[in-house]
Structure 1
């Protein structure tokens, strides 16, 4: 739990952590998820000393965005990400494909 937080945030942290663990997330990952969530809420409400621009100025939360930003940077998904997607789809010849060929093979 971050230093300087109040009882409400401590309860929120425990609630998020327990929920993540019930869903099968490891304890370490559950703590990370809970910490990040609580820190973002603290930043949005002005309780944190410092905050990133996305924490304070983003009108939508991550769950509301629904993955809108995932892999949509300048180059989209990386070759490794496309390769993993091709592997899951069992596409033949994927190991010798470049990024553009993988993109076409997986249908992006």
Structure 2
């Protein structure tokens, strides 16, 4: 029998190892080799024994829902562009960044504008 106590494995892990072991024995491996390979497979797939649930099992579903909602709100805020007190920093932005801001402010004709024209249109839009 392979080394190690199997008491810390879940019933599901034990059943899986037994099934894998039977499969190896059916292919002609010795009982010891089949058992050894079966437990190695279970360990590789599940990370060993004494696992409660899985990753994130300590996080309640309401906490997960709140975290997802907060994440979505942050993402939406990022897509809107940033509030600006003065137009002075417009020149330092890339054309792509100006284009994104013009899109969020629904400035017409922005796709054919130059960087200078985008800066001017954004200043007018406020």
TM range, smaller chain: 0.3 to 0.5
Higher helix proportion: 2
TM-score (norm 2): 0.33
TM-score (norm 1): 0.38
Look at both structures and tell me which one has the larger radius of gyration over its CA atoms. Answer: 2
